[in-house]
């Protein structure tokens, strides 16, 4: 991940506070072609669709899955509420 700003809204690789009903803590955030990805380590299952906050901004979770490459990581894909995915 780089420090380059994408679309002026998300800095790839930035770590921010997130809060979802199933997880609260720090997570990595990056912009992709599929939307904003939020990644964190947790044993708990994530739920999609769902909602929470990312960096204090309302966030809609569209998909949630375990990482295929990093053991113990959860990857959420979604969008900030009121913005395009």
Domains in the chain: boundaries: 5-80
Question: Could you tell me how many helices (H) and strands (E) the chain has, helices first?
Answer: 0, 8
Query: What pLDDT is stored for residue 64 in this prediction?
Result: 96
Residues 6+ apart with CB under 8 A from 10: 29, 30, 31, 36
H/E segment holding residue 79: strand 73-80
Query: What pLDDT is stored for residue 6 in this prediction?
Result: 38
Q: In the structure encoding, which two tokens stand for residue 51, read together?
A: 């909602």
Residue 65 to residue 47: CA distance in whole angstroms: 9
Tell me the per-residue pLDDT of 24-76, one tens digit each, with 9 for 90 and over. 999 999 988 889 999 999 988 898 999 999 999 999 999 999 998 888 999 99
């Amino acid at each position: 991940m780089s420090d380059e700003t994408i679309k002026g809204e998300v800095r790839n690789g930035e770590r921010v506070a997130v809060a979802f009903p199933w997880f609260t803590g720090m997570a990595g955030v990056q912009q992709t072609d599929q939307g904003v990805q939020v990644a964190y380590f947790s044993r708990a299952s994530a739920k999609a669709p769902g909602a929470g906050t990312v960096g204090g901004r309302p966030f809609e979770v569209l998909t949630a899955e375990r990482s295929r490459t990093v053991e113990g990581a959860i990857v959420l894909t979604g969008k900030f509420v009121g913005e395009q995915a």
